[in-house]
Amino acid sequence: MLTANILNLFDQTIFYGTLTVENGRIAQIERLGPESPGHPYVLPGFVDAHVHIESSLLTPPQFARLAVVHGTVATVSDPHEIGNVLGVAGVEYMIQEGKRVPFKFSFGAPSCVPATPFETAGATISVSDVRYLLGLKEIGYLAEMMNFPGVLNSDPEVMAKLALARAFNKPVDGHAPGLRGDDAQRYIDAGIYTDHECFTYEEGLDKAQRGMNILIREGSAARNFDALIPLLAEFPKQVMFCSDDKHPDTLVSGHINQLVVRALQHGHTLWHVLQAACLNPVLHYRLPVGLLREGDPADYIVVTNLTTFDIEQTVINGQAVAVNGRSLIESLSSEHVNRFDCPPKQAADFAVPAQDGSDPLGLIRVIEALDGQLITNELHLAPKVENGQLVPDVEGDILKLVVVNRYADAPPAVAFIKNFGLKHGALASSVGHDSHNITAVGCDDESIAQAVNLIIEARGGLAAVAEAASHDHDHERMSRRAFLRLTTTPETQVLPLPVAGLMTDADGFDIAAQYEALDRFAKQELGSSLAAPFMTLSFMALLVIPTLKLSDKGLFDGKTFTFTPLYLA
């Protein structure tokens, strides 16, 4: 029995009372009197309304260990990251891993694997696969429909997947960045009632007025809280909080609890804020999560006060899973499923000849990365040319960006990018949404090659290279099998991700510290000016987010949904 101040989100009252739990459910709630300041408060647990667990770099058990410390009891989890690597087997892996811990993962059936036909993924999830997945009791919804052009153009495969969601009576998650007006209405009319991709108040307002639920996203790279939080006062029943993509260092610091505190600081009412953080996701996605009513599963949190929301205890199905900042979920190891079939690369693989062999005839298209956003801009800039090759202009912060197919031996795609701020060296990652090929950015081809090869040697991970090893010209004559194994040195940092090249089953708190060191290395040693350089890098191959991106097959215009040449003319 627990005695505390109890919050009822349905009638918006607080009273002093007792909570009795039996067999994992709330057996009785007894009102003893009015709110008693100075005593703790009990309320439903927080829900992340849209997240890719894989982006935490942690397996589901390790993710849960960190999240419960902050009062999170459930997530609406889209497993399309591992789906792009391993297909249906990857989704089943996430489901089984999630069952191993006392945490409420609601996984979706990925709707867009691969996300587009303009990139190489490790698997395809077909209409029949979606039918199979939606039939599983563990699958709660059709995951984000990123192919909004397919919705607007009534693509047969897209329409078939939406029809299956209706047939199974499961909600459909949305993804429609920049869609407004009649196009937004047509997207909604297809049965898609959420969107986590709004990046301006005006876009969010337009969609909310049309009945769409707006998910306010605050992740490690994309941060739209400040732009969208005014919608909470106007549409309290249509707003939810989510992280979308959350790296381990920021997950250690906080989760949905941070958005709750910030929303209160912005002047929003307690009840509106908790409606977004606790109530709306459970009702919309029909989650098996208790809402502090008699007969509900005993999923709740105990906080010291309703201002800072310091978490004293997190309880799921009547079991305490976190107490005073300490996770009670066991650290579990997992099977290392993976697919990595990419041979090592050489610096010469990333060379870009000037248009006429010596000097460029015109401007080139350059991706402009935007800190805190998934969208990019397209710049038209003069390239730097040396010895008949286009090379990074470090002083002008125009670096080389490459995407390497990790599923087969293929020539890498190469382009140029601005705003990473590296002064030397390179970064590389096998976390490259959504197909998860190897993405790298660097100041010279040698450093890029070394960073990419560190990823290949680890069969997935994150790598930073401060100074490339001296070029061994004998590498040009070496066979792939004889390629010398690269090792980590004081000039390099590597974080291996042995599960699908996306996650690790190592202790989540340790991984958070390692990632923090890697992030610090990228900023302090290499000079990156971005808040989350590795997270930003992971989205530079995400073709479904405008404007200019790079797939393993070439430079891509996200507005016209077509490949585009490096040179303007």
**Residue 179 zone, left/alpha/beta (φ > 0; ψ -120 to 50; rest):** beta
Structure tokens at 48: 């992340």
pLDDT band of 480, cuts 50, 70, 90: very low
Phi/psi at 44 (nearest 5 deg)? Answer: -60, 150
What does the pLDDT look like over 326-369, one tens digit per residue?
999 999 999 999 999 999 999 999 999 998 644 445 899 999 99
**Residue 174 zone, left/alpha/beta (φ > 0; ψ -120 to 50; rest):** beta
pLDDT average, residue stretch 90-104:
98
Phi/psi at 380 (nearest 5 deg)? Answer: -115, 105
> How much is the pLDDT for 420?
97
pLDDT average, residue stretch 392-412:
97
Is the pLDDT confidence value at 475 over 50? Answer: no
What does the pLDDT look like over 24-41, one tens digit per residue?
999 999 999 999 999 999
Cα(154)–Cα(191) distance, integer angstroms: 13
> How much is the pLDDT for 474?
38
pLDDT band of 553, cuts 50, 70, 90: very high
- How many CA atoms within 13 Å lie on the side-chain side of 358? 0
Closest alpha carbon to 187 in 153, 227, 224, 142: 153
Contact present, 62 and 35 (Cβ < 8 Å): no
Domains of the chain, with CATH numbers? 45-287 (3.20.20.140), 347-563 (no CATH)
> How much is the pLDDT for 467?
77
> How much is the pLDDT for 361?
56
Pairing relationship of beta strands 41-44 and 300-303 according to DSSP bridges: antiparallel
Contact present, 416 and 517 (Cβ < 8 Å): no
Cα(254)–Cα(243) distance, integer angstroms: 11
What does the pLDDT look like over 501-523, one tens digit per residue?
999 999 999 999 999 999 999 99
Contact present, 173 and 50 (Cβ < 8 Å): yes
> How much is the pLDDT for 221?
66
Q: Side by side, which strands form the sheet with 413-418? A: 376-381, 364-369, 413-418, 398-404, 438-442, 426-429, 461-465, 492-496
> How much is the pLDDT for 562?
94
Per-residue b or e along 225-250, where b marks 16 or more CB atoms closer than 10 Å to that residue's CB: eebbbebbeebbebbbbbbbbbbbbb
Burial of 569 (0-12, 13-18, 19+ CB in 10 A): exposed
Cα(442)–Cα(423) distance, integer angstroms: 9
Contact present, 403 and 416 (Cβ < 8 Å): no
Whole-model pTM: value is 0.92
> How much is the pLDDT for 489?
56
For residue 228, give Cα distances in angstroms to 249, 274, 279, 335, 489: 24, 16, 19, 40, 44
Cα(243)–Cα(190) distance, integer angstroms: 25
Cα(336)–Cα(351) distance, integer angstroms: 34
Average pLDDT, the chain: 93
pLDDT average, residue stretch 436-445:
98
DSSP character string of 417-431: EES---SSSEEEES-
Q: Using a pLDDT cut of 90, give the percent of the chain over it.
A: 88
Q: 42: which strand partners?
A: 6, 302
pLDDT average, residue stretch 360-382:
90
For residue 302, give Cα distances in angstroms to 2, 6, 261: 10, 9, 15
What does the pLDDT look like over 163-191, one tens digit per residue?
999 999 999 999 998 999 999 999 999 99
Is the pLDDT confidence value at 469 over 60? Answer: no
H-type alpha helices, 105-147: 127-134
Contact present, 47 and 75 (Cβ < 8 Å): yes
Structure tokens at 252: 């250690």
Contact present, 431 and 455 (Cβ < 8 Å): no
Q: Side by side, which strands form the sheet with 46-51? A: 46-51, 72-77, 104-109, 139-145, 172-174
What sign does the CA torsion over 76, 80, 85, 87 have?
A: positive
> How much is the pLDDT for 32?
97
> How much is the pLDDT for 476?
38
Cα(551)–Cα(439) distance, integer angstroms: 9
In 193-299 the beta strands, taken as DSSP E runs, fall at 194-195, 213-217, 239-242
Is the pLDDT confidence value at 470 over 90? Answer: no
Q: Which amino acid is at 535?
A: M
> How much is the pLDDT for 199?
87
What does the pLDDT look like over 73-86, one tens digit per residue?
999 999 999 999 99
Q: How many helices (H) and strands (E) does the chain have?
A: 17, 29
Is the pLDDT confidence value at 486 over 60? Answer: no
Q: Give the distance from CA 565 to its chain's centroid.
A: 29
